[in-house]
Amino acid sequence: MNGKVPSILLSMALVAGALTGCGGNDNDNETSSPKASEPASSGSPSASTPASETPKDEKPTEITIMLPLNTSETPPDTIKNEVEKLTNTKLTYQFFPADTYEEKLNASLATGSLPEVTYLKNQATFIQMKGAIRDGQFWEIGPYLKDFPNLSKLKEQILNNTKVDGKLYSLYIGRPLARQGLIYRKDWADKLGLKAPETVADVVAMAKAFTEKDPDGDGKPNTIGLADRNDLVYGAFKTLASWLGTPNNWGEKDGQLQPDFTFPQYIASMDVMKEIRDAKAMNQDFAATSKTDQVNLFTSGQAGMYIGAMSDVDSLNKDLVKNVPTAVVDTKALIKGPNGELSTWAIPGYNNVVLFPKGAVKDEEELKKVLAFFDKMMTPEVANVMYWGIEGTHYTVEDGKAKASDNKELTEREVKGFKDSVIGEAETNGMYEGYYTLEARIHAEEFTVENEKIAIHDPAAALDSATYTEKGTELQNIITDATYQYIYGKLDKAGFEKEIATWKSRGGDKIIEEFNAAYKK
């Protein structure tokens, strides 16, 4: 996606599976403060219209909210009660497990039982919901945003990425555009005399050295360089491919958009992954490895590299030092491709959206009341409660930033369920940026800011294709399987190109045609 997860082809076809593969945590790519580059407005109550301006005698607005639960248990009412007081609402949260959320969403849609506020699961679910949106089952909210001082601050580019046929039906949960990078064992690198990788070739060399040169010093051949998983988007492949200059889902070639896997850089990226795997410098069965198992490879001390969301470094480090107390991790991005150029991929700036079903929101007056709640959510006092929790319990303020409590289990239980529903990002809702003490995380935040400057955007992120909506996921499986087969050495370049031809003949040519028609409008 930011906001990827891009909404077309490679990312979108895989993102639902990718998120499921992340243990229902919306990929852990989404666990840090949404924006780390402009702290000036963060936490300042004057940054937005105060939530407390609601007249005291006004009757609370009753709202039912359906959303995916990315934790093992439903949160208590601690945060809900505080939000109700700040927004003058009576809220009913319907939490459903993320792993089965799409089934619940589809069943509720089919029976007309969606509540006033309906969160989707991720960008892939949004693609699937476009048919119902076009059928008129949800309110178009674009014309109303100008009437709400805080909602009108939402970023136009990201809103455009969520439009359907040029109309806005949703509010977005913002995310940094480009937080992907490398997390690695700095203590191993230091022991072997390796500097932080500057190029893709350096990354490959580090993976091989971590495998072959006994970085843990136990005299046994029991380490590998890279831990990866069955996810070509949020695992290592897409990030490595972007370092090599591969387009982000779609790129321009001969004056028209073409899918990324038709570009030579995609082949080069598969070659690099194949080189690492052939050297046995990564887990050989990565195409069948879950995120849980990937994480265990790193935190057990067996693997020394992890390419993905740099924000994962906190949890990786926490569990690693339990097993290897002397371990030291660090993060690195800004990895140069073969031509010395810097690039990385960007999501469309969001990881989820919220819709307002006409079956539950009966008229314009009721819609405005629901939107007024979200306008209050986009104030620092409400956004901080929902994202960080209760000050003094779940976090403290250090240097104008939110420092999470050491009691992570309490925060996970009480806050996480609400955190995943906050609209906008720190730039637009004024909530606190995160305060970090782990040096690797501090570096990750810095790299995230720098990544935005070199980010490759998906030119088709806001475009639609009827054929893609109907067949995109099915067709993408052809390319996904072919990519794994190539990296495993079971398919050569000619074989891969044959699979591309199959993709085109089964509907891919029509997808290309439709996206280009939309692109040229």
What is the biggest distance separating any 2 CA atoms in the chain, rounded to whole angstroms? Answer: 73
pLDDT reported for residue 367: 98
Cα–Cα distance, 114 to 354 (Å, whole number): 12
Q: Report the run of H or E that residue 503 belongs to, with start and end.
A: helix 493-503
Q: CB-hemisphere CA count at 13 Å for 240?
A: 28
Instruction: Provide the terminal-to-terminal Cα distance of the chain, rounded to the nearest Å.
Output: 24
- Mean pLDDT by 10-residue block, N- to C-terminus, for the chain (521 residues)? 34 35 37 34 40 65 96 95 98 95 96 97 89 95 98 94 93 95 98 98 98 97 97 96 98 96 98 98 97 96 98 96 98 96 95 96 98 98 98 97 94 95 96 96 97 95 88 94 98 98 98 95 81
pLDDT of residue 462: 83
* Per-residue model confidence (pLDDT) at position 54: 52
Given a contact cutoff of 8 angstroms between Cβ atoms, the answer to whether 217 and 191 are in contact is: yes
Q: Residue 208 region, left (φ>0) first, then alpha (ψ -120 to 50), else beta? A: alpha
**Cross-sheet strand order for the sheet of 89-97:** 89-97, 61-69, 117-119, 350-355, 171-174
**Measured CA distances, 32 to 78, 157, 231, 318, 363 (Å):** 21, 21, 21, 15, 37
pTM of the model: 0.81
| Alpha carbon of residue 418 to chain centroid | 17
- Return the beta strands (E) in 70-197 as ranges: 89-97, 117-119, 171-174, 180-185
CATH code at 61-176+349-431:
3.40.190.10
DSSP string, 34-92: S--S-GGGTT-GGGS--GGGS-TTSPPEEEEEEEEE-SSS---SHHHHHHHHHHTEEEE
Residue with token string 């000619």? 494
Cα–Cα distance between 171 and 151 in angstroms, integer?
9
Q: Say which CATH architecture domain 180-345+457-462 belongs to.
A: 3-Layer(aba) Sandwich (3.40)
How many CB atoms sit inside 10 A of residue 484's CB? 19
Two tokens, residue 328: 């030291």
| Residue 42 · residue 385 · CB < 8 Å | no
Q: Are 448 and 35 in contact (CB under 8 A)?
A: no
> CB atoms < 10 A from the CB of 156, how many?
8
Integer Cα distance of 347 and 8 in angstroms: 11
Residue with tokens 């690693």: 320
Segment (H or E) for 354: strand 350-355
CB atoms within 10 A of CB 322: 11
DSSP code for 145: G
The pLDDT, as a whole number, for residue 55 is 57
Name the residue with tokens 């601050």: 153
Give the model's pLDDT for residue 16: 34
Strand residues in 432-507 grouped as ranges (E): 455-456
Q: How many helices (H) and strands (E) does the chain have?
A: 20, 15
200 φ, ψ (degrees, to nearest 5): -60, -40
**What does DSSP assign to residue 349?**
S
* Dist CA 104 CA 86 (whole Å): 30
Q: Where are the domains of the chain?
A: 61-176+349-431, 180-345+457-462
- The token pair that represents 166 in the structure block: 């040029």
